[in-house]
Structure 1
Amino acid sequence: MIVNEAAQRRQPLVLVSLLLIIVAGLYSYANLPREAAPDIQIPYIFVTTDYEGVAPEDMEKLITVPLERKLKGLEGVEELTSQSDDGTSTIAIKFLPSEDIDDALQKVRDKVDQASGDLPSDLEDDPLVSEMNFSDMPIIQVVLSGPFSLKRLKVFAEDLEDRFESISGVLDARIIGGLEREIHVEFDLDRVGAYKVPFAAMLQSVERGNVNMPGGSMDIGDMRYQVRVPEDFRSPAEIDSIVAFVRDGKPVYLRDVAAIRDHYKDITTLSRLNGENAVTLQVIKRSGENIIDINDRVAAVVEEMRLLLPPTLTISLTADMAEDIRNMVADLENNILTGLILVLGVVLIFIGGRSAVFVSVAIPVSMLITFALLRLLDITLNMVVLFSLILALGMLVDNGIVIVENIYRHMQEGKDRFQAALDGTSEVAWPVITSTLTTVGAFFPMIFWPGIMGGFMSFLPKTVILALAGSLFVALVINPVLSARYQTAAPALAVDGNVVRSRSKRAYLWLLEWALNHRALVLGVCVVMLLGSALAFGKFGKGVEFFPETEPKRAYANVKLPVGTNLDATDRYIRIIEDVCSEYADVRYVIGSTGAATGGDFGGGGSGTHLGSVTLDFVPIGERSRHSSEIISEVRDRLSALITGAELRVEKEDEGPPTGDPVSLEIYGDDMQVLAGIVEQVRALMRDIPGIVDMKDNLVTGKPEIQIRVDKEKTSLLGLDTYTVAYTVKAAINGAKVGVFREGKDEYDIVAKLPRKDRESVESLRRITVSGLDGEPVPLTTLARVDLASGLGAINHKDQKRVVTVSSDVSGRLANDIIRELDGKLGALAWPRGYTYSFAGEQEEQRKAQEFLSEAFVAAIFLIFMVLVAQFNSMVTPLIVLTSVVLSFIGVFTGLLITGTAFGIIMTGVGVISLAGVVVNNAIVLIDYFEQLKAKGMQTREALLEAGLTRFRPVLLTAVTTILGLLPMALGVSFDFFKWKLITESESAQWWGPMAVAVIFGLLVATLLTLVVVPVLCSLQDGGRAWLTRRRSGKAGEAVART
């Protein structure tokens, strides 16, 4: 082979290249950015519009619907969803994966600009168009807590904020919580009535009295002077001297009708860490920066500040992505090292000392080549990449084993090292290339996996293909050169000196001869095993799942009270939850938050005074005395008995790509009251289904409202309009921003509104006055009726249709089984005309993944078939090779049964496709050598026996190395080479274990059966050829006789 011959003639160049690979690989590995999960692009664009004080129904009509009408014409949109809530409209546009996100962003902006004429004229800000970017997510949270007021904690946080933002690579440090300064102008209704001051006039007086305006410039003599009017407020005290109105020629000062307070914005959320008041700093990194490096510097700043801040102040680092990444990477690295040692050990036992060293070179050198290529391709070191290396670990030595074994055999035949390296490599080069291409062919279709899931999982085939390319280079170039320079051969008689190897070969020879004598029985047994394993798994297996269940690092206890519940009432529930969660030693941090839900919040909105959550942050998995899932289940049971009059969810943090809830039902219809009735029926059905936990829906009805019903005719007769009335009410209750107060580099809003005591009764609302045409105040009750009523909460759309989502988590049962049962019950309901339902969330993603993986499997088989046809120049031989793929299913189903593992759509599905490329390699090597022997004139039976015996050891060894490489991941057991201790619970094994189980058992069974079944099929094929040859010869003889 040309490559091999060139390498042998330039051995020094190959050795220098090897050194260069080692240096480049080590450098790349040290400098590859580490991430817990791949940084994938989420094809979502959001359009957010704020219209303060407007009810959800009005937001839907005035904002959401006009924008949706324009946006529906966009090309490449997969899904359009929206939510209209109090004062906010949010539209989410999910584009197809093929769409360029930057181009899509511009198209959305253009459509929003076109819709601007249909939006209300008094919108303070234009709709905001933004894309979802994982780079904007916080990489660490620094929580300040202790026996301090929220005002003091905010001061401490601001000190840290400045230091964090000075760190290179930090984009922003956001302060969440604390008290935010605001200047209040609080009007006294009694005094306003006494002085008869119009409300609008008071607002304008503050706004127009706070001016710092440039007036241009003037040339006076030889000098140029800038002209400006610097009449902005120097202190809050200046505000009360403004003239609010002039009545009968006398000024009415603002201090006569209002009180000026240097105060804070109304508190809408409360936060605590382990029961103490808390303020949080979220650190955001710049795109492309190293998370671990930045978080280390953040931690260093925190340690410096501990010496300067009060000792009673607690500074905790939570949601630390660097810690998660370190643990994940270390876990996977330990699995790689443990698997590497197992592989090297078995190679040493099977091959012997020096040959084992040459073969084992393939693993580290191939991985170093992979690290260098990953860095060139700008791929980070994440959980998917590292598992891909584990999956490839045993395969990396396969090519080397075949080539080094063959070189060793040629040396035993008496050839010198140089010639043995040339002949031994050339003899098996094409089978080695073919086997590598078949494996690449199996993984290649998965590169084109679409969507978010594809972005996440596509790193697996990319990494495996790079690693296999590296191993092929090592096998064809480096291994032969090392063998030619340093290999020595034992005498030929010593080949089977190992008793175990000798006995195993004799046993295999006996089995193969028996199989060739009972070909029909062998094939019949295989068919029975295949059907039996499939039927057994269907009856006794754990069923089908989307993603494997894992032990979570965090959990969230969310509580939802009736809409309208105030912050203090909700906080009482949150304190009960905090007390329960604080009792568990395996919970490191208990973070309470009132006014917002966290991690899978109650649909329809993650904030509101009726919502609250408690985050449970568990200690690392190796330090836990119990499984975190057990604690979550126990907390759920305990809280269910304590929390009454509220809806409770205790849910774990999901890992991997976002897929939605395991059970997610979307109900479509126009009338929200009808939808509410259907939702109640659906929830009643779901409550009776075992395995459903943490049920929720995003329908909010019965929201308490005070409605101002304007008498339009009377208002018009007085020269006013509905908008003037509405704006006056909004300013009085919600507040109107009438300017900013500047102090140094900081700006604080000046807000005019009624004092809190006048915003706590309907009677105060009735005392508001509206400015008439002549400036005279007109009582609100003259213009409108004040009614108590109830309204809708958030209104959701999907593809412009109103939709309500009912969803839940599952416990003790597979989501697929529950959905099947629920679907049957839903079909029995009497659905009103025009109202429909569909399953979404995880179920929808599962369907998409299942469709793609089925197509990928077919494509992989086709690519493998094409490679085999090119190799063997036959249509039948490739079909014999592909029987290995069919035989592997026996192992897959048996392995899942033995280990009690569910068939994972993602993990097992990818494992089966991976198997398709791996198991055929052994058949290729076996059949190729059989055909070489036949070409030399050997009889079929003798050639099959000789090929089986000769390839027995390399075939068995390549399978065993792949199995041992994955064994630590399948068992969840490895050795921690950093702390020198045995790991019996691995986080990564929970995630990737099902795939490892599928590959191990599939490869084990397929290899053992391949050594027997493939020779049987080859025997039948050769017999069929002989029969056809005889028949053709007979017909030719008859034709000659007739002539």
Structure 2
Amino acid sequence: MKITEISINKPIFTTMMITTLVVLGAAAYLRLGIDLMPNVEFPYVMVQTSLRGAGPEEIESSVTKPLEEAVNTISGIEDINSTSFEGLSLVMIKFVLEKNGDIAAQEVRDKVNSVLAQLPQGTNPPVIGKLDIGAQAVLNVVVSGNRDLIDLTQIAKKKIKENIETVSGVGAIDIVGGREREIHLVVNPLKLSAMNLSIRQVKDAITQQNIEIPGGKVEQKEKEFVLRTLGRIADVKDFNDIVIATINGAQVRVSDIGRVEDTGARMTTASYYNGKPSVTLVIKKQSGTNTVAVVKNIKERIDELQGTIPPGVETTIIGDQSLFIKDSVNTVTEHLVLGAVFAALMVLLFLGDFRSTIISSLAIPTSLIGTLIFMQAAGFTINTMTLLGLTIAVGIVVDDAIVMLENIYRHMEEHKMSPLKAALDGSREIGFAVVAMSAALLVIFIPLAYMGGIIGRFLKSYGLTIAFAVAISVFVALTLTPMLCSLFLKIKPGAKTRLEKFTDRINEYLADKYILMLEWALARRKRMMVYGVLIMISMVPLFMFLGKDFMPADDTGLYQINITAPEGTSLGMMKQIFAQVETETRQLPHVKSILSSIGTGTGSHFGGSSANEGYVLVELDDLEDRDLPMQKLLLASREMMSKYKGLRVAVMPAGGFGGGDAELMYNISGPDLQKLNEYSSAIAAKLRTIKGAVDVDTSFSYAKPEYRVEIDRSRA
């Protein structure tokens, strides 16, 4: 082949060409992101609409139904799921995988805008966005100390949150357990009634007298001034002096009908770290960004901020997702390096020559490093799937180089050719066979990139990574390997070395055994055909006995206890429940820290949040420091929570891939909610009897308890 002849005749050019490949690959490695799994985008769009004070039935009929009918005409929809909460409507639209997520979100936005006029008065504008699984929480920053919760919230928001938001790759930061400062006016209704005043008059007076109004400009001959009317109240006690009305010439002030309090806002969420009140910053990354790099930058920024944080206030990081990712990637990388080393040792074992081993083994690092160039160009990251592809490719990329080297060596040994002549003739003779052999491998792995379904999205980077490595290995086998053979490959005259004698004995022993097996098989052709058919048929029952899962369960050292109390449970009662759960969880072995989040939902990818929901995040000791796997501790937590009969509890791993969501869900639909509740409860009861099924629950929940005011229209 022409490329081989050029490579052999111009070794300096070949060396520079391969060096360029390696340098570009090393540069690509520094730019590649590190993540647990490939960045896969699913075409889900969520419409979130709120109507304060409305019950679930009203939300369903007046908000959810019109939105569903509007978006139902969009092409490419696979199914629509909606959930109506108190004051909140969530509509989840699932499109076919081939649909572009950005286009789907824009089409939903257009359809929703067309029905905004049909929504009830007071409905907030719908929030429409893609369900981005990649934009997940990467860590929690817990702010705690010997300060009031209002002060902690102010420190967490002003000194930490606003600084971390500027870190590259940070998508959003949610505050859990915070309490903002508020000025409360406590009015005496008896005094209001005695003075014939309404609460609206009090509100209007405060609004009108606590305002800053721009007054335009004041121009003079030589200067120009900005005119402002400074009407904002600077001190809390000055609110008492606001004039509400004038009655019979006397001014009625706020102090005459009530009092002013400098306090905090009503709490809707609560956070406890190891039993102490705290403020938690839940930090989410942007989709497609490098999780490890984002977390590293966040930690560096927090270290820089330590000097500005007041004494007595501590910041603690819990739920760091980068630790598990780095451990997983390092483990696979370790196996990759060991695989390359053992592949080289096996080549040495069978060739028995150090020169030949080095020449053929150079194809491994050269091909793998060159593969990184194409991985970066394809937008891949260093993750479990791409590293798995590189690990598989270790044993493949060296094959082409061995075939090329063996043929060149045969020409030198049998035809007594010089290394240069043997390299030219040997490569010319075997070049197209090497290309054909690699093309057969490409035919196997490239179709993985075009596999349909969700699994195809994950296998794309795996298949293409192997294909890139195989293609690079062909290039190396046709250029670098024959060039090195022409320069360094030699046949030593005289007696063989001890290593060569040892490899000869191994090869002769294996060849003899292989010939015996081959002769036995050829003498029993029909029986071998039957054996072959039986082996293929046995795949079916063996496959049925094997366990099946999308991803293996990993020990992330982090799990969460999702808790849902009966509807109407107050935040104060939830604090008592979580305090009890924390106390019992702390008794389990190897528990390092506990973070409770109340009123924030259960931490799944979608869903509403209310005061009766929350989760306990449990961080365990490092895997090497404990003698119990996380699955055993999950079972212990489930047994511990089984005595809480009035709570709906789920214990599941957190972090890793897919943590925090149920593994199996049945969707039951129909027009009658009571029948749906009856059927779903019956199915749930049946599922609980299945071995291995845990945390079986339904999404049905009764409306929050309410007081109703019925108007007597004749008297009104």
Shorter-chain TM-score above 0.5 = yes
SS in 1 for 2:697: strand
Encode CA deviations 1:798-844: one digit per residue, 9 max, x unaligned: xxxxxxxxxxxxxxxxxxxxxxxxxxxxxxxxxxxxxxxxxxxxxxx
Report the counterpart of residue 511 of structure 1 in structure 2.
517
1:81 alignment partner, SS class: strand
Query: 1:97-246 residue pairs with structure 2 within 5 A?
Result: 97-123=97-123, 125-133=124-132, 136-157=135-156, 158-165=158-165, 167=167, 174-217=174-217, 229-245=229-245
Q: Residues 72-127 of structure 1, C-alpha deviation per residue, up to 9 Å, x if partnerless? A: 1222223322222222222222333333333333322222221121122333x422
1:59 equivalenced with 2:59 (yes/no): yes
Looking at structure 1, the residues matched to 173 and 246 of structure 2 have their Cα atoms a distance apart, in angstroms, of 47
* Residues 374-523 of structure 1: pairs in structure 2 closer than 5 A: 374-413=375-414, 414-450=416-452, 452-489=454-491, 498-523=504-529
Q: Deviations over 1:173-219 (max 9, x none)?
A: 55432321122233333223333323433333333333333355576
Q: What is the distance in 1 between the residues matched to 2:648 and 2:282?
A: 29
How far did 1:350 drift?
Answer: 0.7
- What amino acid sits opposite 1:437 in the alignment? A
Q: Does the alignment pair 1:639 with 2:641? A: yes
Tell me, in whole angstroms, the C-alpha distance in 2 between the residues paired with 1:659 and 1:446: 29
Kept after mapping to 2: 8 A contact 1:41/1:452:
no
**3-state DSSP of counterpart to 1:651:** strand
Contact 1:452 1:657 in 2 (8 A): no
Deviation sequence 1:867-898 (CA, Å, 0-9, x none): xxxxxxxxxxxxxxxxxxxxxxxxxxxxxxxx
Q: Matches of 1:162 and 1:703 in 2, distance apart? A: 36
Written as runs of structure 1 = structure 2, the 5 A alignment for 1:550-949 is 550-600=554-604, 605-641=607-643, 643-653=644-654, 655-656=656-657, 661-701=662-702, 703-711=704-712, 713-714=713-714, 783=716
By how many angstroms is 1:135 displaced? 6.4
CA distance in 2, matches of 1:95, 1:14: 50
| Secondary structure class of the residue paired with 1:612 | strand
Residue 530 (structure 1) aligned with residue 536 (structure 2): yes
Q: Which residue of 1 aligns with 2:329?
A: 329
How far did residue 633 of structure 1 move?
Answer: 0.7
Shift in Å, 1:260? 2.6
Please state how far the C-alpha of 1:168 moved relative to its aligned partner.
Answer: 5.8
Q: In 1, are the aligned partners of 2:412 and 2:491 still within 8 Å (CA)?
A: yes
Q: Cα distance, 1:226 vs. partner?
A: 5.0
- Percent identity between the two aligned chains: 27
The CA distance in 1 between the partners of 2:655 and 2:228, in whole Å, is 58
Name the CA distance, whole Å, in 2 between partners of 1:336 and 1:225: 71
Secondary structure of the residue aligned to 2:696 is strand
Counterpart CA distance in 2 for 1:461 and 1:233 is: 66
Rounded Cα–Cα distance in structure 2 between residues aligned with 1:630 and 1:129? 41
- CA distance in 2 between counterparts of 1:198 and 1:570 reads 36
Deviations 1:985-1039 (A, max 9, x none): xxxxxxxxxxxxxxxxxxxxxxxxxxxxxxxxxxxxxxxxxxxxxxxxxxxxxxx
Q: 1:347 to 1:659 in 2, by over 3 A?
A: farther
- Secondary structure of 1:394's counterpart equals helix
Q: 1:464 to 1:313 in 2, by over 3 A?
A: same
Aligned AA (1:192) = L
TM-score by length of 2: 0.91
Asked if the contact 1:552–1:629 (Cα under 8 Å) also holds between the matched residues in 2, the reply is no
Paired residue type of 1:139: V
Counterpart Cα distance in 2 of 1:71 and 1:445: 35
CA contact (8 A) 2:36 2:656 kept: no
Q: Secondary structure at the match of 1:649?
A: strand
Of stretches 511-520 and 217-226 in structure 1, the one that deviates more from structure 2 is 217-226
> 2:224 & 2:655 partners in 1: Cα distance?
66
What SS class does the counterpart of residue 706 from structure 1 fall into?
A: coil
> 1:82: which partner in 2?
82
Q: Bigger CA drift: 657-666 or 2-11?
A: 657-666
CA distance in 2, matches of 1:303, 1:647: 39
Counterpart in 2 of 1:548? Answer: 552
Residue matched to 1:872: none
Change in 2 beyond 3 A, CA 1:161/1:655? closer
**For the Cα contact (< 8 Å) 1:453–1:657, is it kept in 2?**
no
> For the residues of structure 1 that align with 2:154 and 2:184, how far apart are their CA atoms?
21
Amino acid at match of 2:536: L
SS of equivalent residue, structure 2 residue 150 = helix
User: Partners in 2 of 1:115 and 1:303 — Cα distance?
Assistant: 49
**1:591, distance to aligned residue in structure 2 (A):** 0.9
The more displaced of 591-600 and 332-341 is 591-600
Asked if 2 retains the 8 angstrom alpha-carbon contact of 1:147 and 1:276, the reply is no
Shift of 1:344: 1.3
Amino acid of the residue matched to residue 582 of structure 1? Answer: R
CA distance 1:610–1:319, shift in 2 (3 Å): same
Q: Count how many residue pairs are aligned between Structure 1 and Structure 2.
A: 709
Distance 1:187 1:615 in 2: 41
Return closer, same or farther for 1:605/1:129 CA change in 2, 3 Å cut-off: closer
- For residues 457 and 286 of structure 2, the distance between their equivalents in structure 1, rounded to whole angstroms, comes to 21
Partner of 1:1027: none
How far does residue 512 in structure 1 lie from its aligned partner after superposition?
Answer: 2.0
Contact kept, 8 Å, 2:175 with 2:281, in 1: the verdict is yes
Would you say the 8 A contact 1:46–1:129 is kept in 2?
yes
The structure with more radius of gyration: 1
1:267 aligns with 2:267: yes
Deviations 1:376-403 (A, max 9, x none): 3332212221111112121111111211
Q: Distance in 2 between matches of 1:309 and 1:211?
A: 32
Larger helix share, 1 or 2: 1
SS of match in other structure, 2:592: strand
Question: Which secondary structure does the structure 2 equivalent of 1:664 belong to?
Answer: coil
In 2, Cα distance between the equivalents of 1:492 and 1:427? Answer: 29
Greater shift, 491-500 or 629-638, is seen at 491-500
Q: How far apart are residue 357 of structure 1 and its match?
A: 1.1
Q: CA deviation at 1:631?
A: 0.9
Q: Is the 8 A contact 1:145 1:272 kept in 2?
A: no
Provide the rounded CA distance (Å) in 1 between the counterparts of 2:551 and 2:172: 34
Bigger shift: residues 295-304 or 275-284: 295-304
1:752-796 deviation line (CA, Å, top 9, x unaligned): xxxxxxxxxxxxxxxxxxxxxxxxxxxxxx64xxxxxxxxxxxxx
Report SS of the residue matched to 2:178: coil
Instruction: Assess, with a 3 A threshold, how the Cα gap between structure 1 residues 379 and 637 changes in structure 2: closer, same or farther.
Output: same
Tell me the SS of whatever aligns to 2:82: strand
Distance (whole Å) between structure 2 residues aligned to residue 645 and residue 293 of structure 1: 43
Cα distance in 1 for residues equivalent to 2:493 and 2:672: 88
Q: Does the 8 Å CA contact 2:595/2:618 hold for their aligned counterparts? A: yes
> Mind listing any 5+ residue stretches in structure 1 that lack a counterpart?
715-781, 784-1043
Q: 1:165 to 1:664 in 2, by over 3 A?
A: closer
Asked whether the equivalents of residues 64 and 84 of structure 1 are also in contact (C-alpha less than 8 Å), the reply is: yes
Q: Distance in 1 between matches of 2:79 and 2:245?
A: 54
Per the TM alignment, residue 421 of structure 1 is displaced from its structure 2 partner at its CA by: 1.7
| Per-residue deviation, 1:290 | 4.8
Tell me how far 1:171 sits from its aligned partner: 6.1
Give the Cα–Cα distance (whole angstroms) in 1 for the partners of residues 167 and 539 of structure 2: 59
- What is the CA RMSD across the aligned residues, in angstroms? 3.0
In structure 1, C-alpha distance between the alignment counterparts of 2:406 and 2:146, rounded to whole Å: 72
**SS in structure 2 of the partner of residue 563 of structure 1:** coil
The 5 Å alignment of 1:244-255 reads 244-245=244-245, 252-255=252-255
- What SS does the aligned partner of 1:421 have? helix
Give per-residue Cα distances to partners, 1:966-1001, cap 9 Å, x unaligned: xxxxxxxxxxxxxxxxxxxxxxxxxxxxxxxxxxxx
Cα separation, partners in 2 of 1:548 and 1:285, compared to 1, 3 Å: closer
* Aligned partner of residue 281 in structure 1, secondary structure: strand
